[in-house]
Amino acid sequence: MQHNGQDNTELQQQAAAQAQQIAKQDTEQAAWAAMQAQQTASNVQQPQSGIMPMPPIREKRRKKSSAYTAYYAAPKADAEMQAPPVQSKKKRSWKVVAIIAVMLACMTVGCIFGVGVIAPLVYGGGYDNDLSDIWEDWEEEMQAPVIKEDDYPADPSISQIGGEAPVISNTVNPVPEIAAQLRESVVGINAYETVEEEQQLISRGTGFVIHADGYILTNFHVVASGSAYTVSFDGQEEEYAARFVGGDATMDLAVLKIERTGLKPAALGNSAETQVGELAVAMGNPAGADANLTGSVTVGYVSYVNRQLSYNNSTQSFLQIDTAVNPGNSGGPLLNAQGEVIGVVTLKSVISSYDEYGQAINSEGLGFAIPMDIAGQVALSIIQNGSVKRPGIGILFYFLDVDKAAEKQLPQGALIDEFMAGSTAREAGLEIGDVIVRCNGVQVTTQQILVDAIARSTPGDLLTLTVWRNGEVKEFNVVVGDMNRMVTY
186-207 pLDDT, tens per residue? 999 999 998 888 889 998 999 9
Instruction: Give the pLDDT score at 37.
Output: 44
Instruction: Give the pLDDT score at 358.
Output: 82
Active site residues: 221, 252, 330
Residue 208's contacts (CB-CB under 8 Å, 6 or more residues apart) are 182, 185, 186, 187, 216, 217, 218, 266, 283, 331, 332, 333, 341
17 confidence band (pLDDT: 50, 70, 90): low
Domain boundary at 119, 142, 165, which? 142
313 confidence band (pLDDT: 50, 70, 90): confident
Where residue 265 sits, what CATH number does that domain have? 2.40.10.120
327 confidence band (pLDDT: 50, 70, 90): confident
Span 346-358, average pLDDT: 82
Domain assignment of residue 47, yes or no: yes
Span 73-92, average pLDDT: 43
Domain assignment of residue 70, yes or no: no
Higher pLDDT, 198 or 435: 435
Residues 159, 91: one domain? no
Domain assignment of residue 380, yes or no: yes
Residues 278, 381: one domain? yes
Q: In whole angstroms, what is the distance from residue 213 CA to residue 243 CA?
A: 13
Q: Which domain holds residue 203?
A: 146-351+360-388
Domain assignment of residue 6, yes or no: no
Instruction: Give the pLDDT score at 123.
Output: 52
Residues 379, 467: one domain? no
Write the CA distances from 410 to 16, 120, 395, 399, 442, integer angstroms: 9, 38, 19, 11, 18
Instruction: Give the pLDDT score at 121.
Output: 63
DSSP type of residue 123: B
356 confidence band (pLDDT: 50, 70, 90): confident
Domain assignment of residue 133, yes or no: yes
Nearest to 427 by CA among 476, 461, 488: 476
SS3 per residue for 165-223: CCCCCCCCCCHHHHHHHHCCCEEEEEEEEEECCEEEEEEEEEEEEEECCCEEEECHHHH
Residues 395, 380: one domain? no
Domain assignment of residue 183, yes or no: yes
353 confidence band (pLDDT: 50, 70, 90): confident
Instruction: Give the pLDDT score at 312.
Output: 84
Residues 344, 398: one domain? no
Residues 366, 471: one domain? no
Under a CB-based contact definition with an 8 Å cutoff, are residues 23 and 433 in contact? yes
Radius of gyration of the chain (CA): 23
When mean pLDDT is compared across 60-64, 174-178, 397-401, the lowest value belongs to 60-64
Q: In whole angstroms, what is the distance from residue 445 CA to residue 458 CA?
A: 23
Q: In whole angstroms, what is the distance from residue 222 CA to residue 124 CA?
A: 10
Bridge partner list, 199: 194
Under a CB-based contact definition with an 8 Å cutoff, are residues 198 and 215 in contact? no
Residues 267, 382: one domain? yes
Average pLDDT score over the chain: 77
Domain assignment of residue 60, yes or no: yes
E strand or H helix at 96? helix 94-105
Residues 162, 252: one domain? yes
Residues 399, 310: one domain? no
Span 42-70, average pLDDT: 32
Higher pLDDT, 349 or 169: 169
Residues 277, 412: one domain? no
Q: What angle do CA 407, 411, 416 make, to 5 degrees?
A: 95
Specify the number of domains making up the chain.
3
pLDDT tens digit sequence for 68-78: 323 345 555 55
DSSP type of residue 78: G
Instruction: Give the pLDDT score at 288.
Output: 55
Domain boundary at 142, 170, 193, which? 142
Residues 99, 117: one domain? yes
Residues 173, 228: one domain? yes
Domain boundary at 114, 142, 170, which? 142
Where residue 431 sits, what CATH number does that domain have? 2.30.42.10
The SS3 call for residue 100 is helix
Domain assignment of residue 69, yes or no: no
